[in-house]
């Protein structure tokens, strides 16, 4: 690099010297002339014989004094500190609420659950020793036998209905007669004609009703176990299948009407089915009776269980114990989640405290001071004809110092763009 170009970088015009006139005065005990950091750097280089080690120490001294200056002038950051303090107070309040909730869970709710579980276990032990302690409802034989009687005939009804409906929907060719709808639902010859159709038709006609009966049993099972989602799913599946059966049967009836009609009828669609009373009649004859069968089954089983009141009493208490254990799991999960929240809040409070106690430094102002000081020092090297190696070392020390104190300068500086 040409010497003239280097000197131009540190031109001591009044414009250059005035660039730091508004910077803080941290050069204690110096004449007014040296309150300009560029002049100060130039003078320090001369006093310390432009030694690179002395340059590094001078930068550290300026940085330390600037920190002291900022620490004395923290009042300008009152708003920021107040905001941090408010955040800390809010987090502390939130932490207190979470701790209170954990204490309630541990000292009250979980202990109550444990007490309830122990009481029920003691009751089970007492029942096994002396069953007379049970205040049980005396079973009604009339209810049991009446329910069983109704359930028996409902089962026969469903078996006849679904066997006829399955055969009519998928295998039978329906012809228009006086009792077309009734024969489609309750077709007496379904098994005979299914046998003539082949093994597949016969097996499906015989076995299909048991599928619906099995679904009805599942309705009872899920309802007894309070598994509402599965209970609803089974009912929905059965309803949709009944709708398909009703649609297929009414479609065949409609097509039979089309064949015997003197006027042209539109093709059978879902909209026509929805407006067809036979569609709902088939659903009612199957699905509604099917639901009644499921509820009657539940009633009969409950009446039967009353006869074995000892087992029923123990099962009831054991079910309550299981429910209490499920509640305990939920409580423990809530405690774990609360502790995780507390950990996160502690970290936030620690970070906010660090921000509250730290010294706020105007890095833009500090970078200007460091640059001007280095410019004055480097200017001394140039006009004093110091060797290039020392000039390079000063620039490297400057860049490293800025990196160490986390000051971003637009580009790394060298002999051509230090300022």
* Mean pLDDT of the chain, nearest integer: 79
Does residue 187 have a pLDDT over 80?
A: no
Same domain, 126 and 147: no
Its domain, for residue 52, covers: 1-133+338-358+372-419
387 and 344 in one domain? yes
d(CA 246, CA 284): 10
Residue 365 lies in a domain: no
Confirm whether 73 is domain-assigned: yes
Q: Is residue 88 part of a domain?
A: yes
Asked, for residue 320, whether it belongs to a domain, the answer is: no
What DSSP element (H or E) covers 87? helix 78-104
Same domain, 55 and 185: no
pLDDT-wise least confident of 56-70, 286-300, 382-396: 286-300
Residues 129 and 145 in one domain: no
* Residue of 97 and 75 predicted with greater confidence: 97
Indicate whether 110 and 214 sit together in one domain. Answer: no
> What tens digit of pLDDT does each residue of 17-30 get?
333 344 556 665 44
Q: Is 318 within the bounds of a domain?
A: no
- Asked whether the beta carbons of 205 and 194 are under 8 A apart, the reply is yes
Q: Which residues contact 336 (CB under 8 A, 6 or more apart)?
A: none
pLDDT band, very low/low/confident/very high, at 15 (cuts 50, 70, 90) = very low
| Confidence at residue 95, expressed as pLDDT on a 0 to 100 scale | 93
Among the residue ranges 166-170, 228-232, 340-344, the one predicted with the least confidence is 166-170
Same domain, residue pair 148 and 129: no
Q: What is the model's pTM?
A: 0.40
Question: Which of 366, 417, 379, 370 lies closest to 42, judged by CA?
Answer: 379
pLDDT of residue 37: 87
pLDDT over 90 percentage in the chain: 23
Rounded Cα distance, 307 and 26, in Å: 97
Q: 65 with 28: CB under 8 angstroms?
A: yes
Residue 83's pLDDT is: 84
107: pLDDT strictly greater than 80: yes
194 plus 269 within the same structural domain: yes
Task: Collapse the DSSP code of 322 into the 3-class scheme (helix H, G, I; strand E, B; otherwise coil) and give the result.
Answer: helix
Same domain, 78 and 26: yes
Could you tell me the sign of the dihedral formed by the alpha carbons of 266, 269, 273, 275, in that order? negative
Q: Alpha-carbon distance 331 to 109, whole Å?
A: 8
Please report which confidence band the pLDDT of residue 188 belongs to, taking 50, 70 and 90 as the band edges: low
Mean pLDDT over 202-231 rounds to 78
Longest dimension (CA), the chain: 126
What's 387's DSSP letter?
-
Structurally, the chain folds into a number of domains equal to 2
Confidence at residue 180, expressed as pLDDT on a 0 to 100 scale = 62
Q: What's the first-to-final CA gap in the chain, in angstroms?
A: 16
The answer to the question of residue 312 being in a domain is no
Tell me the angle at which helices 190-197 and 141-170 cross, rounded to the nearest 10 degrees: 40
| Contact of 276 with 180, CB cutoff 8 Å | no
> DSSP label at 284?
I
In the prediction, which pLDDT does 2 show?
Answer: 34
Count of alpha carbons within 13 Å of 80, Cβ hemisphere only?
A: 13
Are residues 152 and 105 located together in one domain of the fold?
A: no
pLDDT > 60? residue 131? yes
Q: Is residue 363 in some structural domain?
A: no
Give yes or no for a contact between 37 and 372, defined as CB atoms under 8 angstroms apart. Answer: yes
In DSSP notation, 27-39 reads -TT--GGGGSHHH
Q: Do residues 88 and 165 both lie within one domain?
A: no
pLDDT for residue 184 is more than 70: no
Hey, what's the torsion of the CAs at 222, 228, 229, 231, to 10 degrees? 40
| 50 found inside a domain | yes
Q: Are residues 351 and 212 in the same domain?
A: no
Same domain, 166 and 286: yes
Structure tokens at 42: 């130039």
């Amino acid at each position: 690099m040409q010497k003239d170009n280097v000197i131009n970088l540190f031109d001591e015009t009044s414009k250059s010297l005035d660039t730091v006139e508004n910077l803080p005065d941290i050069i204690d005990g110096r004449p007014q002339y040296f309150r300009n950091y560029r002049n100060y750097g130039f003078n320090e280089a001369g006093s310390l014989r432009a030694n690179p080690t002395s340059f590094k120490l001078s930068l550290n001294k300026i940085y330390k004094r600037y920190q002291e200056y900022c620490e004395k002038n923290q009042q300008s950051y009152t708003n920021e500190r107040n905001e941090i303090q408010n955040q800390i107070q809010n987090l502390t309040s939130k932490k207190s609420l979470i701790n209170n909730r954990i204490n309630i869970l541990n000292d009250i709710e979980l202990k109550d659950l444990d007490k309830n579980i122990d009481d029920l276990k003691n009751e089970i032990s007492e029942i096994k020793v002396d069953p007379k302690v049970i205040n049980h409802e005396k079973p009604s034989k009339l209810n049991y036998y009446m329910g069983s009687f109704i359930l028996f005939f409902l089962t026969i009804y469903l078996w006849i209905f679904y066997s006829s409906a399955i055969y009519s929907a998928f295998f039978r060719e329906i012809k228009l007669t006086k009792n077309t709808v009734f024969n489609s639902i309750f077709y007496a010859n379904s098994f005979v004609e299914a046998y003539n159709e082949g093994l597949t038709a016969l097996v499906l006609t015989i076995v299909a009703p048991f599928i619906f009966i099995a679904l009805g049993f599942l309705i009872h099972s899920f309802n007894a176990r309070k598994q509402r989602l599965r209970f609803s799913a089974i009912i929905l599946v059965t309803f949709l299948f009944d709708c398909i059966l009703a649609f297929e049967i009414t479609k065949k009836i409609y097509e039979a009407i089309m064949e015997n009609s003197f006027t042209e009828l539109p093709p059978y669609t879902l909209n026509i089915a929805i407006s067809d009373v036979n569609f709902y009649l088939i659903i009612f004859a199957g699905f509604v009776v099917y639901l009644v069968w499921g509820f009657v089954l539940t009633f009969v089983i409950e009446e039967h269980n009353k006869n074995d009141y000892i087992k029923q009493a123990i099962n009831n208490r054991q079910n309550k114990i299981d429910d209490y254990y499920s509640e305990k799991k939920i409580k423990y999960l809530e405690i774990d989640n609360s502790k995780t929240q507390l950990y996160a809040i502690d970290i936030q409070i620690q970070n906010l405290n660090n921000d509250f106690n730290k010294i706020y430094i105007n890095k833009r102002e500090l970078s200007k001071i460091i640059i001007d000081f280095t410019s004055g020092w480097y200017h001394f090297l140039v006009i004093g004809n110091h060797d290039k190696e020392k000039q390079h070392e000063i620039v490297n020390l400057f860049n490293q110092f800025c990196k160490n104190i986390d000051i971003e300068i637009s580009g790394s500086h060298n002999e051509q763009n230090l300022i």
